[in-house]
Structure 1
């Protein structure tokens, strides 16, 4: 399977061109890719077009490495038939709003087939009436089976080559599906997700926090979705998928994390999963504090079942031995901490530089790559202390001044960086409170799932050498 001639990719923000175009640095995991002499002219202004066999091969390889993303503005529209599958339980008003947005998005064109799956609603008549009013086909399940099972029930009725999964609290924009369909010009793409933004008009302070930092919002930049990458998972609150890639679909037994599991299984089978923020769908975020806090905790309980199915992908932190040693030295807060940490940094940079002999400035590149590793390790350590391991961090604060200092610095830096990075329509104090409560709720859910299963797999960091 090759990319079509008009398929264009652009190096992403994590990729660097070095040595006058002879090599690239980036990807996930970070690596150095050396370009053959005949391949270098194909990279023009950070863009590669598949207008020749060599161009197609280079673009395909850059996509595999996670160094480039498709340029959707330069891709032609894909005129493909699709069916919309909507799982719903007792949200008749929200269902009506979604179906209205689907009709409005067609702009007078033929409305696609829509399958509404009633997942054990208490008021089945209301759901049935809304579906009938909009001409949607209704599949009524005798009992609640959860979002994964309800989507599968609809998927079994789909006869088109593509399917759109949209939860009832989603509103589709006119360009959402057409933009996502462009990615399927790549025959390796199995699923594409849009950016999920908050529904306009929600104004509680929790809703404003969610507008800025929702768990469903994966940011401004397109990305490949795969484990241990900057965008490691995507929600299926709204996605477009190739039916042939889905197989049996979601795991019916999973009530939480079924969307993460599906994406990871697609990647394991060789399909590409993409995140495309150029397409957006609106989501009615939970705006009441209690409902919001509980939902964050429920998300955390999904970590354990994912650890059973994907043990190599779920670790809350992935560290190399040198970065773990660097962190331990710094957090020890002794007189020897800084000299030891600098020694680890220098030795690591030299070791990396020795492997980069083909580059023009191996030592400078080694120092830069090591610095990136330090930043990544610090961010992961902060997330461990404030999110996944917060019960241990809280216990440590009761008995150790060093732990208190470490946690306090991590908490302040985390809030400052997140507040600067997100366009929050909220003061920094309430944003900081919401961020800490977000982490506490999710971490509590992770610990609840681990204790219930008597397994620590979802809480164990992965410290691995480069040879693995």
Structure 2
């Protein structure tokens, strides 16, 4: 997984994320995830006079790469109808109807009809039959999805490989939206948005799954890396550069193998991107018991990731000064609140000094806004940790303390309302809130079970944000 040294090619275009703030006449950019401040040289600022930058030389290529890696800009490329250099790999086990539906969709869709397809039968009870235009590789005993994908990856004879799970159906144009990203020579993986499969069976949590499923990374494009807003992409649908994956997925992992792959690639200097303009529909679980079991299973993967990637899997990323501020505010009383506000003020002063430019006024208002914004974000993270990752500890605290009960109830209510609000036109607050609490209870139970089984607490411990 050694990163290539090739620069972005001429004609490659990037566009600033609309949430990026430009200051100092465009010479300073504030945005990205994690939030960062980037100061541009006069020449770089002149190249980025508009929000779109087209690579035309070494300097513009370096600037575009810096913006991509900082999460301040995203590729802005037209769809590419070509797809002859792509092999579709489908791992499957005991899903004949879903597999038939996927293969029919691939044959019928423009851009994928005629592409080579490899189906890896991972020990199905009834072997997958041969079909026109489909190569079937069979393992008599199931070795897991990672091994199945690796078998397909090794058998593919094309430069690019598209992984699709059998319970998926790609939307028209998905591949044309993903392929242009591979013009970036450092890009190893690009993933589409996973959306609900229309017309399928519905269950008690289907409305929640439609808007808050763990496979859906949201409506905004993103650079994918640990401790960012999009820290992984699911392997249900991926387009990969075959040569960049090395040995591929870790076959020892039956869960979180996709997260592990992404983190290994980014650690090796490769880029991974999420492109929501491309969509692949996925058949979500319908029965409540299956849904809860799946959520708990996902939770068990955190301990396995902690053994391989340490603090990258931490459920709580918080600066010490933010943790201290909240501890003082929650402690209550006039003195506690005054001390918390004093710590917040000191944080703002330190930020103002770091943001100050020689010979210019100290940006006190900007620093104060960033300090408050950081405190709010850390408060949201603390509420999320208390209700999802660390709920067993929160429940123990609530049993023994009336104040802890009030704070836990407030955190659970605020978290549920904040999560429901963006989807208020598609689902009700009560149903969404109840499903979110069940989701968190199941995932947290799996997280703690995995950590206890591994005798490794790192998946439960907070970490400082990266600088």
Q: TM-score scaled by structure 1?
A: 0.95
Tell whether the 8 Å contact from 1:86 to 1:116 is kept in structure 2 after alignment.
yes
Choose which of 86, 89, 96 in structure 1 pairs with 2:93. Answer: 89
More off after superposition, 196-205 vs 244-253: 196-205
The offset of 1:259, in angstroms, is: 0.3
Hey, what does 1:52 align to over in structure 2?
57
Q: Secondary structure at the match of 1:275?
A: strand
Alignment of 1:274-289 (within 5 A): 274-289=273-288
Alignment of 1:185-334 (within 5 A): 185-202=183-200, 203-334=202-333
RMSD: 1.7
User: Could you list the runs of 5+ residues in structure 2 that have no partner in the other structure?
Assistant: 1-5
Hey, what does 2:427 align to over in structure 1?
426
Tell whether the 8 Å contact from 1:332 to 1:402 is kept in structure 2 after alignment.
no
CA displacement 1:156-197 (0-9 Å, x = unmatched) = 101100000100000012211111111011111100000000
Hey, what does 2:414 align to over in structure 1?
413
Q: 1:76 to 1:114 in 2, by over 3 A?
A: closer
Whole-Å Cα distance in 1 between the matches of residues 322 and 353 of structure 2?
A: 18
CA displacement 1:78-135 (0-9 Å, x = unmatched) = 655011111000000000011111111236x7511111011011111xx21xxx2342
Whole-Å Cα distance in 2 between the matches of residues 41 and 207 of structure 1?
A: 49
Tell whether the 8 Å contact from 1:213 to 1:422 is kept in structure 2 after alignment.
no
Q: TM-score scaled by structure 2?
A: 0.95
Whole-Å Cα distance in 2 between the matches of residues 447 and 424 of structure 1?
A: 34
Q: Secondary structure at the match of 2:152?
A: helix
Q: 1:118 to 1:424 in 2, by over 3 A?
A: farther
Choose which of 63, 77, 81 in structure 1 pairs with 2:68. Answer: 63
Whole-Å Cα distance in 2 between the matches of residues 32 and 432 of structure 1?
A: 36
Tell whether the 8 Å contact from 2:316 to 2:463 is kept in structure 1 after alignment.
yes
Tell whether the 8 Å contact from 2:26 to 2:49 is kept in structure 1 after alignment.
no
CA displacement 1:231-260 (0-9 Å, x = unmatched) = 011101000000011000000000000000
Choose which of 111, 117, 120 in structure 1 pairs with 2:120. Answer: 117
The offset of 1:200, in angstroms, is: 0.3
Q: 1:158 to 1:331 in 2, by over 3 A?
A: same
Hey, what does 1:140 align to over in structure 2?
138
Q: Secondary structure at the match of 2:334?
A: coil
The offset of 1:334, in angstroms, is: 2.6
Whole-Å Cα distance in 1 between the matches of residues 452 and 39 of structure 2?
A: 47
Q: 1:110 to 1:418 in 2, by over 3 A?
A: closer
Q: 1:370 to 1:78 in 2, by over 3 A?
A: farther
